[in-house]
Structure 1
Amino acid sequence: MPIDLSKIKAIDVHVHAEISCHDPEDPVMGTFFDAASTYFKAPRERPKMPEIVEIYREQQIAFCMFTVDAECGMGAKRVSNYEVAEMALKNDDICIAFASIDPHKGKFGAREARDLIENYGVRGFKFHNIAQDCHPADRVAYSIYEVIAEYKLPAIFHTGHSGMGTGMRGGGGMRLKYGQPMLVDDVAVDFPDMKIILAHPSWPWVDESLSMALHKDNVFIDLSGWSPKYFAPQIIQYANTQLKKKMLFGSDFPLIHPQKWIDAALKVGFKDEVMPGIMKDNAARLLGLV
């Protein structure tokens, strides 16, 4: 059944499916999970998708779930987009499937994107250009973006510092420069029909994300990956004013629990009148649920 907005209290636009229900954990990803768990002070064991669904159903929070395909950039086997999509279809009262395709897969990746949209109900896409070792505006990705834009779907782009690779030798080989928000600006210009969600508060480039969301009608910001108690003051300022319809709740689960994020958000100065938009209404409009 479709999501009944009257029965949920929030929409979390940033939830990771990090392990398969069928395949063992990839050993390359395992080393990154070890480091990320230390950095986030989070449990090392990753929940499987049915557990994630039950956690969110119990919390009465709808959510967008995705894996990260960095097979070319990291050499790590991804969790199948099809597995994520099938899980979402079985739990479509609470779960929305996003997909992730390594940009290096180019036209072949575009074929997968179209199949996932047309035949498996995928409603958006996730790119992590640091992990994928690819400039967001590299033309190799444009055939994938063209499919996303054709269906007017959203795409989440990781921005800012990356917990993945933090503390590892050489950052695990990951280049933080690809997380600079302004690198996505060309994509926003070239694909005005693709809604772009800049994930995370984008530290240390916070102001770039705020500027882009002000300037481009197709650019939004999700507030995942950080506890709100660590947000830069200008995030709260703009969420309360000019960007109140552009800010989206995201947790980065399983590294941050949604309720922990919500509890912190209630204490940092978001105005009471803007919280419904941040928590649910802005995402509902962006995802076409209203």
Structure 2
Amino acid sequence: MMIVDCHTHIQEYPGHVSEEFVAEANARSRGTPIEMHAPPERHWQAMRNVDKAIVFGIRALHSGLTSPNEYIADYVRKHPEKLIGFAAVDPLHDNVIETLEHAVQDLKLRGVKLGPIYQNIHPLDERMMPVYRFAEKNHLPIMIHQGTTFPRRAPLKYALPILLEDVALQFPDLKVVIAHTGHPWIDETVVLIRKQPNFFADISALHYRPWQFYNALVCAKEYGVLNKLLFGSDYPYTNPDATIESLRHINQIVAGTNLPKFSTEEIEHLIHSPTLRLLDLE
């Protein structure tokens, strides 16, 4: 079975990430500086043990993130057998249709990356609608950061996963992946992906909060949607090897208790989640 890392970034620092963003990230990094310079060659090395990787940048001028789609496309073009590129768009500062048409037609990118909390926009703002409409019409899955984050200026009021329910109802054929299982509002994400057939969530960037990671999987299992969780790492903030290792040792968190455990089959299915089939990217 194939391992697909559905959530990875490349970016230049300095260049694509502001000094303020880096300072805030490191202030909340529990004493270990985060390596924000993540060029293609480092990404390629980090992905050595996965079969496929979805790669993107973020465009969120409000938060100091300005990765160009051409940067993603240039890298993907060199390794088309392994990499799938998504386009980033900032609905407040980009010409949405022009940006996405160029990304799909010229750059051959195959999905869209959004981050309303980073972009300072409500996910149901009218300026978001053209993104959803274009993505649905052109069969582009959307990876959306709908959960908390560290920048002080990123508004939490735009981050609740439940806000995406109206997106699912208005655009029923749109495939959406809620990044990081919408942490810390994981229960909202789980009930949403249970209700909406084209909504999924990834487990990226959860394993270094072990109790939250464990409870996210328990919640998904109890609601019968473990099969709608996708494997992802959130490179460069962590990597697929560390994520796999944490998954395979998840039961150690509750060793010696009668709390729920996961079978080897459940964990291996998550590591080998059929992401490409679920998102129509085969």
Give the TM-score category using the shorter length.
Answer: 0.7 to 0.9
TM-score, structure 1 length as denominator?
Answer: 0.84
Q: Aligned match of 1:25 in 15, 22, 28?
A: 15
The alpha-carbon deviation at position 129 of structure 1 amounts to: 0.7
Residue 130 of structure 2: which of 137, 143, 156 is its match? 143
C-alpha separation in 2, matches of 1:219 and 1:15? 19
State which of 29, 35, 41 in structure 1 corresponds to 2:24: 35
Match among 19, 30, 37 for residue 46 of structure 1: 37
Q: Distance in 2 between matches of 1:64 and 1:271?
A: 27
CA contact (8 A) 2:139 2:174 kept: yes
Q: CA RMSD in A?
A: 2.2
**TM-score, normalised with respect to structure 2:** 0.87
Look up the SS of the partner of 1:104 in the other structure: coil
How many angstroms apart in 2 are the aligned matches of 1:235 and 1:271? 16
Deviation (angstroms), 1:143: 1.1
Alpha-carbon contact 1:224-1:249 (below 8 Å) kept: yes
Aligned-partner Cα distance in 2 for 1:263–1:103: 37
Task: Give the Cα separation in 1 of the matches to 2:245 and 2:65.
Answer: 35
Corresponding residue for 2:114?
127
Aligned to 1:230: 211
Deviates more, 1:38-47 or 1:140-149: 38-47
Secondary structure at the residue paired with 1:135? coil
Structure 2 counterpart of 1:282: 274
What does residue 186 of structure 1 align with?
166
Contact persistence 1:53–1:94 (CA under 8 A): no
Hey, which bits of structure 1, 4+ residues long, moved more than 4 A?
Answer: none
- 1:267 partner amino acid: H
Please state whether the residue corresponding to 1:46 is helix, strand or coil. Answer: coil
Q: Any conservation in 1 of the 2:36–2:236 contact (CA below 8 Å)?
A: no
Q: Distance in 1 between matches of 2:147 and 2:128?
A: 20
Amino acid at match of 1:96: I
- Which residue in 2 is equivalent to 1:266? 248
Describe the SS at the equivalent of 2:182. coil
Task: Show the counterpart of 2:255.
Answer: none
Residue 230 and residue 88 in structure 1: after superposition, are their counterparts in 2 closer, same or farther (change >3 A)? farther
Q: What residue number does 2:199 align with?
A: 219
Q: 1:150 to 1:12 in 2, by over 3 A?
A: same
Structure 2: how far apart are the matches of 1:261 and 1:77? 25
**Structure 1 position 137, deviation (Å):** 1.0
Structure 1 residues 60 and 221: CA distance shift in structure 2, 3 A: closer
Alpha-carbon shift at residue 44 of structure 1 (Å): 3.3
1:15 match: 8
The residue type paired with residue 182 of structure 2 is S
Asked whether the 8 Å contact 2:4–2:50 carries over to 1, the reply is: no
**Paired residue for 2:259?**
none
- Aligned position for 1:162: 149
**Residue number among 141, 146, 157 corresponding to 1:177 in the alignment:** 157
Q: CA deviation at 1:234?
A: 4.3
1:187-210 per-residue CA deviation (whole Å, 9 max, x = no partner) reads 111111111111113233111101
Work out the CA distance in 2 between the residues paired with 1:162 and 1:223.
15
Q: Secondary structure at the match of 2:18?
A: helix
Give the drift of 1:248: 0.6
Query: Does the CA contact (< 8 Å) of 2:11 and 2:36 recur in 1?
Result: no
Contact 1:240 1:271 in 2 (8 A): no
In the other structure, the counterpart of 1:208 is: 188
Aligned residue runs from structure 1 range 246-257, under 5 A: 246-257=228-239
Q: Give the superposition deviation at 1:45.
A: 4.8
Within 2, Cα distance between the matches of 1:259 and 1:275? 14
Q: CA deviation at 1:77?
A: 5.7
Cα distance between partner residues in 2 of 1:149 and 1:205: 26
What residue is the counterpart of 2:256 in the other structure? none
Gaps of at least 5 residues in structure 2 are: 252-261
